[in-house]
Structure 1
Amino acid sequence: MRKALYDRKLRALLIFTLTLLVPNIATIVGGFHGFFLTYLAWSALIVVSIPLLLRSGRGSISVASSVFLAVVLVFGLSTLGFLLGFDIRRYPTDPTSLAVSIALFLVNTLGIEVGRSAAMSLTKHAPTRVALGTLAGVVLGSTFSALLRYFSGVYGRPLTLVADFMYSLTLSIVHEYGGLVSGLLFRVVVDGYWRFSPLVLTSAAPSVLRNAVLALAYYAVLTSVLYSTRGLRGRSRELLEFSRLKKVLRVLPESILISLALLFLALALLRFVPLVVTSGSMSPTIGVGDVVIVHAVGGSNVELGDVIAYAMEGRQVVVHRVIATGSDWVRTKGDANPDPDPFLVSYRDILGKVVFIVPRVGYLAIVFQTGGWVAYSSIATVLAAVLSVTYVRRRARSRKLKFSLIK
């Protein structure tokens, strides 16, 4: 028995060590060969390691629950992006390049989560497992030189480390209660948002407040995971003690959140993106504060007269009408502008076509996007207040349940 346990820990330590070393092949060999050998070695290590590390955790979180929590987190990040602004992310549009990008992303994600699972298999002590998994999640996937640069620059931006550790801690908790598959799928959904979504939460805001908001968002998911793992003992008795109205009020917020998250997931899968219009260049068709729903289609699908959203200078998103088309470009003009835009818009800069307009609901987003530090401080304060109230209410509910069980 002891020998089998020792062998398992030895295998886990070897897998973790190899996962830590593999990315450095690219630095040692260099060039395309180093890149190719790194991903080849990582793929082989993943194939060999997954059967040895596959476990279900404590069984408190199902695979479906982990995916749902990841979707809720992405929904929250997208909501923050809607309020504070988006960054534009470019990714390959041709099928071959996109397939290669997805494959490399999956190998990288699998490699990190396999290494995390290996680190967590080194001990039976749950808090130590979570601590090892959290540390592993931060250091795995990077070369030693990249890690040195990362940690040497943290003193100037400590909240970056806090946000990264909070995300890694959340993933380790998902591993602990749901197992390797749950943790892996959670990361694929969240990291897939950062990697492949055409619009992600802006990085133009003050880094201190942006990382504070991210840390609070990860903490919200972390507390949801921990709360959802509590036993169901006494839950039926607790429900019988509440009136029907109180039951409805208790489940209503979660029902709304689930509905919004599912709606967001459906829109994301169908490639619909909401954007806030901050100028009057398209009035009276589209006014300041209107929200436009953009269907992400390729430039070749754009026709004369369409209202499109495109990226200008890599960051700013412009919503104007197409007044001329070419082989790989379009010319645009704002309906309220006297002259066309003084440049041609390349197909690769087109984000999509406007298919729906919601009037006047974006004023709050304009206030936040122009508020700078005040806006981020307000959001951080509101998030902290909501989390504090939620924590106090859950503690009070837990004490009440324990008291009723004692009686």
Structure 2
Amino acid sequence: MLVVLVWVLDNYILGRIIGGFAGNYLLRPLMWIALIIIVWNMPRLRTAGKYRLHSFIVGLALMCALVGILLLALQGLIGGIAKSPYDHSLMGIALNLLLTGSMIAGVEMSRAWLLHRFFPRRRAWGIAILGLLFTFFSVSLNKLISLKTGLEAVKFLGTDFLPSLGESLLASYLAALGGPVPAIIYHGALAIFEKMSPYLPNTNWVSQTLLGTLAPLLGFVLVYQLYQEEAGEMKARGAAEKPLGWALTSIFMVLILWFALGVFSIYPRVIVSGSMVPQINIGDVIIVQETEADKLEEGDILLYQLAEIKVAHRIIEKNQENGQITFVTKGDNNDDIDIEPVYPGQVLGEVIYIVPKAGWLSIALRKTG
């Protein structure tokens, strides 16, 4: 109940009813510090991890934070970066670190105490239940309530809820093994990077969803395997059952999904018309490489946007007048050229490879749907 009260005060009283410097940067840290003192004076509870491995567990927490930071950097490489919205003046950094640090310490100390107090023999249940509970504490309730469309709900689920759930489950697992310190280090390192970095990733929501969910998932399975091996608790099992195998499989599946969704500059497209027969048949999958219009030449197969559809036709003529490039295109199986020229703004990419018949399942599913 105390944690819920603090959450209500933090989200609905301080910063809203009580605003200004006092409500945002004075009373909030004091509230979290008060919670820290209360939890600190509660009876100490035993963790599930071996005491001799506490330093090792702390190292695992740092490793998980590093994985998260590296995947954030990968987001920036994929989609670009933007200037951080946080105040990077000396005073701004100090206030942000005070507020964020006290909040993380209060949350993780509460999480660890609840986990070991109420789930001493069923810690797997505790990790799941508290992981889910503390996820709701970390996401914006106002944002959740304001969702109006299905797409907004999907984006919220992907960019806010699922990454927060993954981080919360991982923090709960670290707290189960080593108490609040590893969980504080994990969340604290991520927060320090976010608050102090002058630039942050500026990617689309698909990339945020996949990378944001992958980071804690990968951290979870690595912590599980490395701790079990260090503690001598890893039982003999087939290679397919090893957590590292699941981690690598998860990464592979995520990469395949990214490829299918067009996160990379190379992506697939299923052909549903016969205008390019015999080179490209219905049901074939084309692999498209994003490219600049001025690099395309006559004879290349171009994918371009035409109203609500995407068309893959061959360039039969490339024109340039007054600095404006246009393309005359034609389907190999068509008698006439396409009526309208293609402008650079319509260009989606060049077809660089064809996979015969690989899209028939997708076409069949669309028809049955």
Q: Counterpart in 2 of 1:186? A: 186
SS of 1:200 mapped into structure 2: strand
TM (normalized to structure 2)? 0.52
Letter in 2 for 1:196: M
Match of 1:217 among 212, 215, 218: 215
Q: Counterpart in 2 of 1:138? A: 135
Higher mean C-alpha displacement, 144-153 vs 166-175: 144-153
Deviation digits for residues 3-39 of structure 1 (CA, Å, limit 9, x no counterpart): xxxxxxxxxx545554555443226633224764333
Letter in 1 for 2:37: V
Q: Counterpart in 2 of 1:203? A: 203
Contact 1:19 1:42 survives alignment (8 Å): no
Q: Counterpart in 1 of 2:118? A: 122
- Alignment coverage as a number of residue pairs: 231
Give the distance between the partners of 1:372 and 1:215, measured in 2 at CA. 22
**Residue 75 (1) aligns with residue 73 (2):** no
**Residue 172 (1) aligns with residue 167 (2):** no
Match of 1:37 among 24, 27, 44: 27
SS of 1:87 mapped into structure 2: strand
Contact 2:159 2:209 survives alignment (8 Å): yes
Give the distance between the partners of 2:70 and 2:8, measured in 1 at CA. 32
Contact 2:93 2:195 survives alignment (8 Å): no
Contact 1:54 1:179 survives alignment (8 Å): no
Give the distance between the partners of 1:199 and 1:185, measured in 2 at CA. 22
Deviation digits for residues 269-315 of structure 1 (CA, Å, limit 9, x no counterpart): xxxxxxxxxxxxxxxxxxxxxxxxxxxxxxxxxxxxxxxxxxxxxxx
Deviation digits for residues 64-109 of structure 1 (CA, Å, limit 9, x no counterpart): 3312331233123323423442232144343223211211121222
Contact 1:85 1:369 survives alignment (8 Å): no
Contact 1:138 1:164 survives alignment (8 Å): yes
Contact 2:159 2:205 survives alignment (8 Å): no
Give the distance between the partners of 2:127 and 2:91, measured in 1 at CA. 38
Contact 2:88 2:198 survives alignment (8 Å): no
Q: Counterpart in 2 of 1:341? A: none
Change in CA separation of 1:90 and 1:159 when aligned onto 2, cut-off 3 Å: closer
Q: Counterpart in 2 of 1:48? A: 38
Change in CA separation of 1:86 and 1:57 when aligned onto 2, cut-off 3 Å: farther
Contact 1:66 1:174 survives alignment (8 Å): yes
Deviation digits for residues 303-352 of structure 1 (CA, Å, limit 9, x no counterpart): xxxxxxxxxxxxxxxxxxxxxxxxxxxxxxxxxxxxxxxxxxxxxxxxxx
Which runs of no fewer than 5 residues in structure 2 stay unpaired?
A: 51-55, 237-261, 270-369
The structure richer in helix per residue is 1
Contact 1:26 1:34 survives alignment (8 Å): yes
Give the distance between the partners of 1:28 and 1:234, measured in 2 at CA. 51
Which runs of no fewer than 5 residues in structure 1 stay unpaired?
A: 1-12, 239-366, 375-407
Match of 1:59 among 46, 49, 59: 49
**Following superposition of structure 1 onto structure 2, how do residues 271-310 of structure 1 map, counting pairs within 5 Å?**
none
Letter in 2 for 1:212: L
Letter in 2 for 1:165: L
Change in CA separation of 1:369 and 1:193 when aligned onto 2, cut-off 3 Å: farther
- Quote the offset at 1:192 in angstroms: 2.0
Q: Counterpart in 2 of 1:284? A: none
Q: Counterpart in 2 of 1:24? A: 12
TM (normalized to structure 1)? 0.48
Change in CA separation of 1:154 and 1:110 when aligned onto 2, cut-off 3 Å: farther
Contact 2:75 2:203 survives alignment (8 Å): no
Give the distance between the partners of 2:175 and 2:75, measured in 1 at CA. 26
Deviation digits for residues 220-275 of structure 1 (CA, Å, limit 9, x no counterpart): 1111011112145779xx9xxxxxxxxxxxxxxxxxxxxxxxxxxxxxxxxxxxxx
Q: Report the aligned-residue RMSD.
A: 3.7
Change in CA separation of 1:232 and 1:48 when aligned onto 2, cut-off 3 Å: closer
SS of 1:62 mapped into structure 2: helix
Contact 2:36 2:109 survives alignment (8 Å): yes
Give the distance between the partners of 2:69 and 2:109, measured in 1 at CA. 23
Contact 2:25 2:99 survives alignment (8 Å): no
- Quote the offset at 1:157 in angstroms: 4.2
Q: Counterpart in 1 of 2:53? A: none
SS of 1:215 mapped into structure 2: helix
Q: Which has the larger radius of gyration?
A: 2
Give the distance between the partners of 1:34 and 1:172, measured in 2 at CA. 27
- Quote the offset at 1:150 in angstroms: 7.3
SS of 1:52 mapped into structure 2: coil
Contact 1:66 1:183 survives alignment (8 Å): yes
Letter in 2 for 1:26: L
Letter in 1 for 2:39: S
Identity among equivalent pairs (%): 17
SS of 2:200 mapped into structure 1: strand
Structure of greater relative contact order (alpha carbons < 8 Å, 6+ residues apart): 1
Letter in 1 for 2:84: R
Change in CA separation of 1:231 and 1:86 when aligned onto 2, cut-off 3 Å: same
Match of 2:89 among 87, 91, 94: 94
Give the distance between the partners of 1:234 and 1:30, measured in 2 at CA. 53
**Residue 113 (1) aligns with residue 108 (2):** yes
